[in-house]
Amino acid sequence: MSFNPHVSIDCVVFGFDGENLKVLLNERVIAEQNQNYNDKKLPGSLILDNEDLDSAASRVLSELTGLKNIYMSQFHSFGKPDRINNPRDILWLEKTMNLKIGRIVTIGYVALIKIDRKIQQQSDVTTAKWYGIDEVSKMNLAFDHNEIIHSGLEYIRGKLDNDMQLLFELLPGKFSISQLRTLHDTIYNKQSDVRNFQKKMSQIQYIIALDEKQQGVKHRAARLYKFDKMLYKKMKN
Amino acid sequence: MSFNPHVSIDCVVFGFDGENLKVLLNERVIAEQNQNYNDKKLPGSLILDNEDLDSAASRVLSELTGLKNIYMSQFHSFGKPDRINNPRDILWLEKTMNLKIGRIVTIGYVALIKIDRKIQQQSDVTTAKWYGIDEVSKMNLAFDHNEIIHSGLEYIRGKLDNDMQLLFELLPGKFSISQLRTLHDTIYNKQSDVRNFQKKMSQIQYIIALDEKQQGVKHRAARLYKFDKMLYKKMKN
């Protein structure tokens, strides 16, 4: 007879605050013998009986972060037999699920959102917070969540190669070229030459220079730009 | 307590015979009261206890089609709660799995192969055969396998937009522009203008005209071309 694993959803939500690419994580508290152990995990949970995968993803995200009506894409499923072998992970599952769990196949969903979206969740879970990608890569997350985030980022890169619009969805409506470069370089994990990047971007017709400059900056306030979605779509097709 | 679904793999293997895009299907025989009912299904099966998803996909494909060392990509998971509600599907699962199955979340894998690969399988399963995509779209496949094939094709289209090389992996080493057009049009489900397509392709540097013509054709044997993988890679980067 075949083994019967559980199926869960994990949500990788990326945001950009103008300086850093961030990912949304829940805090996890594990009561150990002498003290509590704290770490972080992706917003995730088991799917319910009568729920399809997309609905489960929306429910899980909403319950654990308060975010609603977020467009999420299913990007990959993770099912290594030993993805749950850390005693802390097993203990946490037993306490929160009230269940001895042998194996969980988890389905990864990814979203890109503006970081000013309100994060709020049901009172019985710990707060979801934004963490910088660099910081997260040094953290020891629950389960295989470091790998899931890495894979989500790879997926986003692939999508961006096809559709630049996604990049602009992370930026404020009016942005500086320096913000665009920072976001671009964070996602692709490289360091573009400042002048080259500025020159390249100024040649892209759907990036429109505005007659406005950054506010609240003491020296050399940068010019602001906007993304012309209509023109982009026209040029793409 | 959360529900405990089963997890399976389904393999969507596309091939091209020079005229039609095809997909590999297994025959399914369901013993009904008075007679046997026959239909088709994707090569697929439940994952085993200690198997990761990629290994399960390789095993399932090999067991049900004899194909080995095929590069497959995981493309999407399908988990509608009612994806198994046809009495025939339920009956078949009970008989083949010896198990009452409430729900199966299936993970779709896709591959593109040359159609001359040898298809052969273990003796206890019915033969896997190639079926034209057009024909398949009119067939009533097991479970939600029509939807899974459609989704696999969408995935391939997205990949091709990024990486044309995949297209040439389906063609013989030497091909006519007409074969290339047929393959292209089948995948994208459109009808390219013959002259325009010929003109466009002749301008692509990595499609190399050979001093050879088709063999075994009575009239107007077409010129053959080859794909220069090295040049393509150079131009892409």
pLDDT of res. A158:
86
pLDDT of res. B42:
97
CA distance B116 to A126: 56
Give kind and range of the element (H or E) at residue A202.
helix A194-202
B130-184 pLDDT, tens digit each: 999 999 999 999 999 999 999 999 999 888 887 888 888 888 889 999 999 999 9
Do A77 and B4 count as a contact with CB atoms less than 8 A apart?
Answer: no
Residue of B101 and B209 predicted with greater confidence = B209
Of A129, A162, A195, the residue that ends a domain is: A162
Enter the DSSP assignment of A175.
B
Do A74 and B77 count as a contact with CB atoms less than 8 A apart?
Answer: yes
Do B53 and A77 count as a contact with CB atoms less than 8 A apart?
Answer: yes
pLDDT of res. B104:
92
A138-180 pLDDT, tens digit each: 999 999 999 999 999 999 988 888 788 888 888 888 999 999 9
Domain of B185, CATH number, reads 1.10.10.10
Q: A225 and A170 share a domain? A: yes
Q: A192 and A216 share a domain? A: yes
* B124 pLDDT higher than 60: no
pLDDT of res. B51:
94
ipTM rounded to 2 decimals: 0.83
Q: Who among B78, B81, B99 is closest to A50 (CB)?
A: B81
B91-121 pLDDT, tens digit each: 888 888 776 777 899 999 999 988 776 666 5
Q: Does residue A212 belong to any structural domain of this protein?
A: yes
Q: B197 and B222 share a domain? A: yes
Strand segments, DSSP code E, in chain A are 6-16, 21-31, 36-41, 44-46, 73-78, 104-114, 128-132, 207-213, 223-227
Among candidates B141, B70, B145, B84, which has minimal Cα distance to B112?
A: B70
Of A106, A139, A162, the residue that ends a domain is: A162
CA distance B183 to B163: 15
- State the number of CA atoms in the 13 A half-sphere of B9 facing the CB: 27
| pLDDT tens for each residue of chain A, 237 residues long | 335 688 999 999 999 887 889 999 999 888 777 888 889 999 999 999 889 999 999 999 999 998 988 999 999 999 999 898 888 898 888 888 776 777 899 999 999 988 776 666 555 555 789 999 999 999 999 999 999 999 999 999 888 887 888 888 888 889 999 999 999 998 888 899 999 999 999 899 999 999 999 887 777 888 999 999 999 989 877
Q: What 3-state DSSP class applies to A47?
A: coil
Find the closest chain A residue to B158 by CA distance.
Answer: A162
Interchain contact A80–B (C-beta under 8 A): yes
> How many helices (DSSP H) and strands (DSSP E) are in chain A?
8, 9
CA distance A45 to A57: 9
Geometric angle at alpha carbon B14, from B13 and B16, rounded to 5°: 145
Give the Å distances, CA to CA, from B207 to A36, A48, B92, B232.
63, 51, 48, 9
Give the burial class of A104: count Cβ atoms within 10 A of its Cβ; 0-12 exposed, 13-18 middle, 19 or more buried: buried
pLDDT of res. B169:
84
Do A2 and B81 count as a contact with CB atoms less than 8 A apart?
Answer: no
Token pair listed for A153: 């980022």
Q: How far is B4 from chain A (nearest CA, A)?
A: 5
Q: Does residue B31 belong to any structural domain of this protein?
A: yes
Q: Does residue B126 belong to any structural domain of this protein?
A: yes
Q: Who among A7, A99, A162 is closest to B1 (CB)?
A: A99
Do A3 and B79 count as a contact with CB atoms less than 8 A apart?
Answer: no
Do B6 and A1 count as a contact with CB atoms less than 8 A apart?
Answer: no
CA distance A194 to B73: 37
A206-219 pLDDT, tens digit each: 999 999 998 877 77
Query: Which of B73, B74, B77 should we substitute to test contact with A (largest number of A Cβ atoms within 10 Å)?
Result: B77
Number of domains in chain B: 2
CA distance A203 to B201: 29
Interchain contact A97–B (C-beta under 8 A): yes
Q: B49 and B156 share a domain? A: yes
CA distance A158 to A151: 11
Token pair listed for A72: 């999420």
Interchain contact A154–B (C-beta under 8 A): no
Do A2 and B97 count as a contact with CB atoms less than 8 A apart?
Answer: yes
Of B116, B137, B162, the residue that ends a domain is: B162
Give the Å distances, CA to CA, from B142 to B8, B87, B97.
14, 11, 15
Query: Mean pLDDT score of chain B, rounded to an integer?
Result: 88
pLDDT of res. B145:
97
Give the burial class of A12: count Cβ atoms within 10 A of its Cβ; 0-12 exposed, 13-18 middle, 19 or more buried: buried
Domain of A87, CATH number, reads 3.90.79.10
Give the pLDDT mean for B35-42. Answer: 90
Q: Who among B1, B52, B98 is closest to A81 (CB)?
A: B52
Q: B141 and B208 share a domain? A: no
Q: Are A50 and A59 in contact (CB under 8 A)?
A: no
CA distance B50 to B225: 46
* B218 pLDDT higher than 90: no
Residue of B51 and B122 predicted with greater confidence = B51
Give kind and range of the element (H or E) at residue B77.
strand B73-78
Q: Does residue A47 belong to any structural domain of this protein?
A: yes
CA distance B231 to B209: 14
Q: B103 and B199 share a domain? A: no
Geometric angle at alpha carbon A164, from B229 and A147, rounded to 5°: 75
Task: Please give the full DSSP string across B169-196, using - where no structure is assigned.
Answer: HHS-SSB-HHHHHHHHHHHHT----HHH
Find the closest chain A residue to B82 by CA distance.
Answer: A50
Find the closest chain B residue to A160 by CA distance.
Answer: B162
Interchain contact B100–A (C-beta under 8 A): no
Do B50 and A161 count as a contact with CB atoms less than 8 A apart?
Answer: no
**Rounded-to-10 torsion of CA A111, A114, A117, A122:** 20
Residue B1: band (very low, low, confident or very high) from pLDDT cuts 50, 70, 90: very low
Interchain contact A162–B (C-beta under 8 A): yes
Q: A109 and A216 share a domain? A: no
Q: Which domain holds residue B130?
A: 6-162
Q: Who among B3, B76, B78 is closest to A49 (CB)?
A: B3
Q: A94 and A172 share a domain? A: no
Q: B142 and B35 share a domain? A: yes
Q: Does residue B142 belong to any structural domain of this protein?
A: yes
Task: Name, of B86-90, B188-192, B195-199, the range with top average pLDDT.
Answer: B195-199
Q: In this structure, how many other beta carbons lie within 10 angstroms of the beta carbon of residue A79?
A: 25
